[in-house]
A and B are shown apart, each in its own frame.
Chain A
Amino acid sequence: AQSVTQLGSHVSVSEGALVLLRCNYSSSVPPYLFWYVQYPNQGLQLLLKYTTGATLVKGINGFEAEFKKSETSFHLTKPSAHMSDAAEYFCAVSVGGKLIFGQGTELSVKP
Chain B
Amino acid sequence: NAGVTQTPKFQVLKTGQSMTLQCAQDMNHEYMSWYRQDPGMGLRLIHYSVGAGITDQGEVPNGYNVSRSTTEDFPLRLLSAAPSQTSVYFCASSHRVGQGLNQPQHFGDGTRLSIL
Contacts and interface: CB of A to CB of B under 8 A. Distances in A.
Interface in A2-52: 6, 9, 32, 34, 36, 41-46, 49, 51
- Interface majority SS on A: helix, strand, loop or mixed? strand
A43 B3 CA distance: 12
Nearest to A9: B40
B110 A97 contact: no
Contact of A99 (B99, B105, B110): B105
Contacts of A100: 45, 59
A49 B104 contact: yes
A103 B105 contact: no
Contacts, number: 61
Q: Determine the interface band of chain A, counting residues with CB < 8 A from chain B.
A: 20 to 34
A44 B100 contact: no
B58 A103 contact: no
Contacts of B108: 43
A100 B60 CA distance: 12
Given A94-B100, A94-B101, A97-B101, A43 B90 contact: yes
Given A9-B40, A42-B109, A97 B100 contact: yes
Interface in B17-75: 33, 35, 40-45, 48, 50, 58-59
B50 A97 contact: yes
Contacts of A51: 102
A94 B110 CA distance: 22
Given A43-B108, A98-B58, A98-B101, 9 more contacts: A32-B100, A44-B92, A90-B42, A90-B43, A94-B102, A97-B99, A97-B100, A99-B33, A101-B43
Interface of A: 6, 9, 32, 34, 36, 41-46, 49, 51, 90, 94, 97-104
